[in-house]
A and B are shown apart, each in its own frame.
Chain A
Amino acid sequence: MIEAFNPVVLFDLLILVLLIICVISIARTRDLVRAAILFSVYSLTLCLLWVHRGAPDVAMTEAAVGAGVTVALFLVVIARVGRRER
């Protein structure tokens, strides 16, 4: 267990911890715009994880789809239905 603390593993752990913090923040917030922006941050961190795992095609698709198109669709629908969650 001690021998595994090289920078590669630490980078991996940092990305995973950031993902979990993003998801917990999405669960706790009541503002839908904040949830959409946090989802974009989550998707971009996931793209970093794909690059770290050696999957560049998946990283490109996730960056464009998750952080771009999906969040744009969310924001358009929020403009229609209202921003606060009860």
Chain B
Amino acid sequence: MKRRAYKLLVVALGLALLGGLLWLPPPGQPGGPVHEHVAARYVEGGTEAAGAPNLTTAVLLNYRGLDTFGEVTVIFAALLAALAVLGVGAAARNASGTGKPRVDARLPASPVVNFIIRLMAPFMATFAAFVMIQGDVLPGGGFQGGVVLGAMMILLSVAIGPDRVSGMVAPAPLGWLRAIAPLVFLVVAVSGLALSGAWFGLSDQPALGHALMVVLELAIGMGGAAVITGIYLSLAREVE
């Protein structure tokens, strides 16, 4: 009875949405309003103004740098919220569970899984670094490389255990490593005032602007990888 009411409500909402969407111009035509005003300026003047042949990275880091700053702050805040909810360190160990002795979270993974993960991990790290550094010429960029690196750390924690992975970086530098993306963004934003006269303005000389873009991408990548690994480890060390 309640299921039927929910289904009717969802179908009614779907028909209302569809009635609105059919008024839009059909997708795929080059003359639509999304290609006209601002995007046309980005496509035509993109490379000279922003210094990056990859237009998406140019939009993300140069034209809409403030939105990317908000994005890295959001994912860092998510890590803080997850740690606050679950408890860190001794608080987590005391609070979790019903008093049973804490079993090692890693089930004995089969030797095939262990071997494949240990074989693939260096290649994944190299690919992540390549995607991060070449992000302004080829498709890719900072966050893509960072997520691939974070996925590699998750796989490693399946193979060698979450305690060993979280012991790879000492706790004091780990805090700075997780916060590196918002901090570097803030430094580049303030230095943009000195270099080109506008907040977030990567400088007018193309070489310095290119170098600043690579620095930003590396910061986003490393910060994203550290945050994703931190979220996974805080959940994985809860399992008993």
Contact = CB atoms under 8 A, between A and B. Distances in A.
Touch A–B, Cβ below 8 Å:
yes
B24 to A, nearest CB: 16
A57 interface: yes
A79 B231 contact: no
Interface in A23-62: 56-57, 60-61
Q: How large is the interface on B (under 10, 10 to 19, 20 to 34, 35 or more residues)?
A: 20 to 34
B170 to A, nearest CB: 24
A76 B236 contact: yes
B151 A60 contact: no
B154 A72 contact: yes
Interface of B: 54, 56-57, 131, 139-141, 143-144, 147-148, 150-151, 154, 228, 231-232, 235-236, 238-239
Given A64-B144, A65-B147, A72 B232 contact: yes
B141 to A, nearest CB: 6
A82 to B, nearest CB: 12
Given A57-B141, A60-B140, A79-B239, 5 more contacts: A61-B147, A65-B147, A69-B228, A72-B232, A73-B231
Given A61-B144, A73-B232, A80 B150 contact: no
Contacts of B141: 57
Contacts of B231: 73
Interface residues of A, number: 14
Contact of A64 (B139, B147, B238): B147
Contacts of B54: 57
A80 B232 CA distance: 13
A79 B107 CA distance: 11
Given A64-B151, A69-B150, A69-B151, A57 B144 contact: yes
25 contacts: A56-B139, A57-B54, A57-B141, A60-B140, A61-B147, A64-B144, A64-B147, A64-B151, A65-B147, A68-B147, A68-B154, A69-B150, A69-B151, A69-B154, A69-B228, A69-B232, A72-B154, A72-B232, A73-B231, A73-B232, A76-B232, A76-B235, A77-B235, A80-B238, A80-B239
A69 B151 CA distance: 6
- The secondary structure that dominates the B interface is helix
A57 B147 contact: no
Contact of A60 (B139, B228, B238): B139
Interface string A1-36: 000000000000000000000000000000000000
A61 B228 contact: no
A69 B153 CA distance: 10
Contacts of B228: 69
Contacts of A79: 239
